[in-house]
Structure 1
Amino acid sequence: MYHLDIQGNIHAFGILLPEITSGKPPFCKDKGCLIDWAKDYLELPEVMSHIVDPELKHFSNDDLKVICEVICLCIHPDFSKRPSMKEISLMLESRIDTSLSIELKTSLAWAELALSS
């Protein structure tokens, strides 16, 4: 039973990632289940950017590939092929650049300057 709860949590994490990335709810009356919609884009690099929220102006295609790979692994129908949360964390931490971009640093500097005046 405990094993199934962990695998259920991993699957739920795989469902949550497209919600965060797309800004869409988990279920839409018009399009149905978000993960079913997202599956059409997850494994195709040429269209994978379609799952990204249009409000998100700056994102890395390499980072998106990692996120899509993690989603696919987490929702894999075969429980035994799903990674552990430790493996997922390692994938995300080691393969996604979390440093601030120069554009973001500049905009944060302007915001900080405006707040201090």
Structure 2
Amino acid sequence: MPNGSLESHLFQKNKDPPSWGTRIKIAMDAARGLDFLHTSENTVIYRDFKAANILLNKEFVAKLSDFGLARLGPPIDKSHVTTQAVGTYGYAAPEYINTGHLYVRSDVYGFGVVLLEILTGLRAYDLNRPSGQTSLVDWYKPMLSEKPKLKKIIDPRMEEYPPEGINKLAQLILRCLQSDPKNRPPMSEVLLILERISTIRLDPKGSRPSPSKPKAHDKRPNSHHPSPHHHHHGASASASAGASPRPQAHRHTHGL
């Protein structure tokens, strides 16, 4: 894909960081893809939703890719399927890691993690960060419900954004990251909320007053700039509510 992955635009230093509007648009596109999989006649659980698997075309339209770990969802009379836990550290839902029980809404948890990356500009899991901060969810989730702290965790490279939109996005992330999958919203609702957020007008008064400095990430409490290196490997297959084929792609997949 001409513009690579969402991962590269969020974390690589040689890429211009996406604007607020672009980030929300990409999130909406990805949400449509997951919703399509979840509501198809044969429900599909993506199982490895992450920024590296969201590819961008020339117009920054996002498409899901790399379906190597996807599997059919549970039969209509079951809530989950039981399988060996595999996926990528930092994105997998807790019930899946702990029990091997895979729900359709286990994907919603992974989507919430990616939304948190979109908001903060930091990786979901980074061993280069200090102890206690390697997991972005563990580190930043408690701050999402506190407005004074929320302002401090916004990606400092994102110079303009609507404060109301930030607050609603934080609320959505918290819902997606609920520990009980039954309490997470379906992707159809997630998409609806993102569409509403996308209509909130940009308020210059709520934006950053000036372009960020090179060391802007250091202004966040104990924050470390995302690691710039990437390793690409693994087989790839592409399909979505707009997914397209792509060559070998970054998987960085672990047994959990």
TM-score scaled to structure 2, two decimals? 0.37
Question: Aligned in 2, Cα 1:61/1:99: closer, same or farther, shift over 3 Å?
Answer: closer
Contact 1:66–1:96 (8 Å) recurs in 2: no
CA-to-aligned-CA distance 1:7-31 (integer Å, 9 cap, x gap): 1110000111111111111112322
Report the AA paired with residue 57 of structure 1: E
- 1:93 match: secondary structure: helix
User: Given the alignment, which residue of 176, 180, 188 partners 1:74?
Assistant: 176
Query: What does 1:95-106 correspond to in 2, within 5 Å?
Result: 95-97=197-199
Aligned letter for 2:146? L
Residues 48 and 100 of structure 1: is their aligned pair in 2 closer, same or farther, counting only changes over 3 Å? closer
**Alpha carbons of 1:52 and 1:100: their partners in 2 closer, same or farther (altered >3 Å)?**
closer
Which residue identity lines up with residue 120 of structure 2 in the other structure? S
Q: Does 1:83 align with 2:185?
A: yes
C-alpha distance in structure 2 between counterparts of 1:46 and 1:101, whole Å = 18
Q: Separation in 2 of the partners of 1:101 and 1:60?
A: 5
State how far apart, in whole Å, the 1-side matches of 2:197 and 2:118 are.
18
Match for 1:92 among 194, 204, 209?
A: 194
Name the structure with the higher helix share: 1
Counterpart mapping for 1:6-17 below 5 A: 6-17=104-115
Partner of 1:57: 159
User: What 5-or-longer segments of structure 2 have no aligned partner?
Assistant: 1-72, 75-79, 81-101, 205-256
The letter of the residue matching 1:36 is D
Q: What number of residue pairs does the alignment pair up?
A: 102
Q: Deviations over 1:50-91 (max 9, x none)?
A: 221111111111101111111111110111111000011111
> Equivalent residue of 2:137, what SS?
helix
Q: Distance in 2 between matches of 1:45 and 1:87?
A: 24
**Aligned-partner Cα distance in 2 for 1:84–1:71:** 13
* Residue equivalent to 1:42: 144
Contact 2:162-2:202 at 8 Å conserved across structures: no
1:32 and 1:46, CA in 2 relative to 1: closer, same or farther beyond 3 A?
same
How big is the alpha-carbon RMSD for the aligned residues of Structure 1 and Structure 2?
A: 2.1
- SS of residue paired to 1:46: helix
In the TM superposition, what is the alpha-carbon distance from 1:101 to its structure 2 partner?
A: 7.4
Q: Give the gaps of 5 or more residues in structure 1.
A: 103-117
- Superposed displacement of residue 97, structure 1: 2.6
Name 1:113's counterpart in structure 2: none
In structure 1, which of residues 22, 40, 56 is the aligned counterpart of residue 120 of structure 2? 22
TM-score normalised over the length of structure 1: 0.76
Give 1:33's aligned residue.
Answer: 135
Contact 2:162 2:200 in 1 (8 A): no
**Identity of matched residues, %:** 26
What does the per-residue CA deviation read over 1:21-42, in whole Å, with 9 as the maximum and x for residues that have no partner? 1111111232210111111310
* 4+ residue segments displaced more than 2 Å: 1-5, 95-102
Does structure 2 retain, via aligned residues, the 8 Å contact 1:42–1:69?
A: yes
